[in-house]
């Protein structure tokens, strides 16, 4: 479980899920680049990210125009300082912070097991096991490498597409998603050519 801005938080502890019908199980260890990719995807979908970035770029452009006008120590320095701060803050949040968070969180680096069925899903980490119904997720975002299973704007499970043993398992997983939650694709999300019948 990945919580943006905080350490990961487990789902509610429960007994093993009673599975009826087809199910898909994946096991994997998250990589640092996958955490970073997930964080970028979630950041780029938020309007506030673009607002802050555009303001920062505006300040930088305004600072350049001030320099052309001969204002070196006045407005130009103020605009450049503001622009560099905002753009630097965005770059730190998107590119540096998620990797730092991953390195300091031992649970995020451990092996995970996820089982999905029409009854719900079960997540097993190195020190916990949790089960929940599909209503736990608001939507699932599919990218070229990941499934981001969003509980809310700040909390999600990260599922690498490489974790599926074969394309048939991934196709079965997508069918389960279609029956119980919203699946949205971003970018080249069909790069593995997983079957999507909807």
Those residues of the chain that have pLDDT short of 70 are: 1-21, 70-73, 153-154, 188-198
Domain ranges of the chain: 2-30+110-185, 42-103
Say how far apart CA 13 and CA 29 lie, in whole Å: 21
Residue 194 confidence (pLDDT): 43
Model-level pTM?
Answer: 0.71
Residue 196 confidence (pLDDT): 43
Residue 63 confidence (pLDDT): 83
Name residues whose C-beta falls within 8 Å of residue 100's C-beta, 6 or more positions apart in sequence: none
Residue 18 confidence (pLDDT): 53
Name residues whose C-beta falls within 8 Å of residue 51's C-beta, 6 or more positions apart in sequence: none
Placement of tokens 């451990």 in the chain: 110
Residue 28 confidence (pLDDT): 95
At 157-180, the pLDDT tens digits run 899 999 999 999 999 999 999 999
Count of Cβ atoms closer than 10 Å to residue 96 Cβ: 12
Say how far apart CA 157 and CA 9 lie, in whole Å: 10
CA angle in degrees (0–180, nearest 5) for 152-189-136: 25
Q: Which CATH number applies to 2-30+110-185?
A: 2.30.29
């Amino acid at each position: 479980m990945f919580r943006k801005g905080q350490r990961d938080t487990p789902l509610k502890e429960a007994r093993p899920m009673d599975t009826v019908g087809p199910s898909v199980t994946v096991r994997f260890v998250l990589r640092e680049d996958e955490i970073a990719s997930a964080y970028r995807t979630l950041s780029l979908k938020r309007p506030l990210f673009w607002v802050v970035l555009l303001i920062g770029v505006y300040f930088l452009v305004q600072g350049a125009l001030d320099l052309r006008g001969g204002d070196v120590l006045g407005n130009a320095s103020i605009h450049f300082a503001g622009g560099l701060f905002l753009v630097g803050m965005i770059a730190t949040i998107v590119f540096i912070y998620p990797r730092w968070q991953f390195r300091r969180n031992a649970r995020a680096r451990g092996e995970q097991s996820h089982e999905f069925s029409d009854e719900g899903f079960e997540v097993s980490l190195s020190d916990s096991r949790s089960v929940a119904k599909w209503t736990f997720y608001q939507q699932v975002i599919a990218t070229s490498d990941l499934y981001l299973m969003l509980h809310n704007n700040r909390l999600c499970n990260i599922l690498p597409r490489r974790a599926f043993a074969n394309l048939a398992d991934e196709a079965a997983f997508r069918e389960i998603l279609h029956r119980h939650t919203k699946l949205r694709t971003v970018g080249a999300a069909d790069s593995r050519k997983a079957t999507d019948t909807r």
